[in-house]
Structure 1
Amino acid sequence: MSCSFEFYNLITEKNGIDKCTLMVPAQETIRNCLYKSCYDYATAMIDDECEYYLKECLTRGKGCIPNTEPCSSQRGTKIQCEKFKQFIGLDLNNNKIYKYCSGEIDNTQDSICKQRSCTDNTIALSNKECSDYMIGCVSKGIGCIDQNLPCRAYIGDQNTCSQFMGSNGTKYCWNTSQASLKSNCIEMKCSDVLGQSNEDCYSGMKPTTQIKIFCVFDGASCINYGQTCQQFKGQDDKTCSNYIAIDGPCKVGLYGFCSQRECNEAPNNLKTDEDCQNYHKRRYTTCYGCSHIKSCNNLISYDSCNLRNECTWVQQCTKTTDKCTLTQCFNTKVDGQQCFWNEKTNTCHEQQCED
């Protein structure tokens, strides 16, 4: 294909994107055309100029380079390298995804750039600054670190380490009171929390959406939640009832240990579900003590029966039905409406005004 100097920059290939450029100096009137190249624009200073010239181009500081070239194709100081990036594809919303570049601290203008990492930022003071520098980075006090690294990758004394979260926010970090500012942090354990109550232990290492462990008090120190009543020590009900066990609530047991509170030991004067659940969180009233089964049939008094929306009293307490029936007609309600027995038709239906 041949074209004149006046028209060479207006001609595109069949795809309507790639433009032509001259193979030889512009003083020639008729010359063969070539595909336009990013490298042809040698004076561009910013990405916008390069992309306007050819959409697959990015800046190389001065001039343009294909946007898919890796960071190692760029040259410059650390500051210059951090202005460069590499196009790697599109996300699900068709937004461009890039890898960003950086350089060693002693880079010169002719030094090779490299792919950016969290540790290339040595001055950031907050998680936001680190995240803005590169997605997936968090603060390590001064500078940034990969958020997936464990607590031991962080450095600091007890106060410094306590500000970090390791392993992508799933571990609290900690250090001993003897640790120096140059010591590696460690993962925090419940035993590191100084507490004298369940509230102290819980607030000292609060669970989150990513951290499921929480701490409870065993009478002497903070421990991981997960022990049974029989693993706690106690000489009386008051002590044992304060423990948070997986099978709790607890009561005093044998040989100085606690035991699980049993439903059939509940006082007979507990009349409501609330009373029973104060005694044991998974128990329900029978109106004469408590039961571990929530059933209308277990209720033996009219008053207790009527306290439950799902129950109705028909000479005894039964589960509410969704319609009036022959077997459950007298003293029965459906959706708050009293059932009525029609002696003329020998049928049971919801009571009407004419009844």
Structure 2
Amino acid sequence: MRLAVVMLTNGSLSGGAAKHLRIVMPMLALDPRIERIRVFVPEGSAHILPHNIDVYEFPVSGPGSGFRKLKTALAQYGPQVLFIPSARYLATPGARTVTMVRNMEPLETPFGGNTMIDRMKNLGRRYAAWSSCRKADRIIAVSDHVANYLIGRWSVPPAKVATVYHGVETPPEPVRPETLQSLGNRPFVFSAGSIRPARGLHDLVEAMAQPSVPSDLQLVFAGQVDAGAEAYETSLHDIAERHGISDRIHWAGRLGHAEMSWCFKNSDLFVMTSRAEACPNTVLEALSHGCLSVSGANQPMPEFFEDTAVYYDSGDPASLAVKMVEALNASASQREEMRAAAALRSLDFTWETCAKRTAEELEHSLA
């Protein structure tokens, strides 16, 4: 098949989207079912892809004009299949369209503590996802949770949707972050992701202040505040200050892959508090590092962790504190058993399988 992959956005790509392009596109280029592939990305994003991948950059300064140029370039290329991994839709004459849904916040929690601007943006993303699912010939969902939502809430025909999980890379050699020198050798809980209301981080900060949690236990958080979520970040610091635990929380900022690996590898516990996920990268990374984990019981976390994590009631910091202490107090043999089970579970999520399944679904759109 002649394939066009279009990352249809009005600006920069998220880390997860960039990783998917960087890893999966070269694999698709080698798949015997794909005769030719060209990847269309927003201006300034071509560097994400290897030099041997055919890339076209389209302008984003003026979406109307930019997308007209994109449509012209697509018509000249003449794809049989148009794959849009960003839950958007773009009609191309003669091409079957496959969309991918990989962001559940606009669908499940478009408002949830966000500013008015972010609420409007989420509603726009939600409508774009709904419209793309309605018009596309086939839909790739990155988890059963996403697929079930589309089928159950949006009445998408089940035969139109297929689940294709993302993969996880082999952990690199860990490097201790410079921002964590003050941590010393004290035990710590680790969590990571963008700082925004949907991440539910207030659960974890409140849980750290519970009397049952050891007073020497530290919290390390890796990630940056999203634009528009500054008030939420301030509220997290206010909670910590009110409970007198500010000195036990280490805000590491954005970390590199090797630095993240050090945090996963050396943490006593990984905690996942997010309220809305599709195929959470941090969960896959925690599994690949064999972390002892506590997670909210909301989907899709149980879909990925299965029985390798301890679950708490999302939104209940007291419940989280109880489960954290329960996990930390487990016997050495129990902890090792859970760590080994997590590492084994991670083997179910490979980028090779992701690329193979993606190619299968793209081909299926032509049937």
TM-score range normalised by the length of the shorter chain: under 0.3
TM-score by length of 2: 0.19
TM-score by length of 1: 0.19
**In proportion to residue count, which structure has more helix?**
2
Structure with larger RCO (C-alpha < 8 A, sep 6+)? 2
Larger radius of gyration: 1
**In proportion to residue count, which structure has more strand?**
1
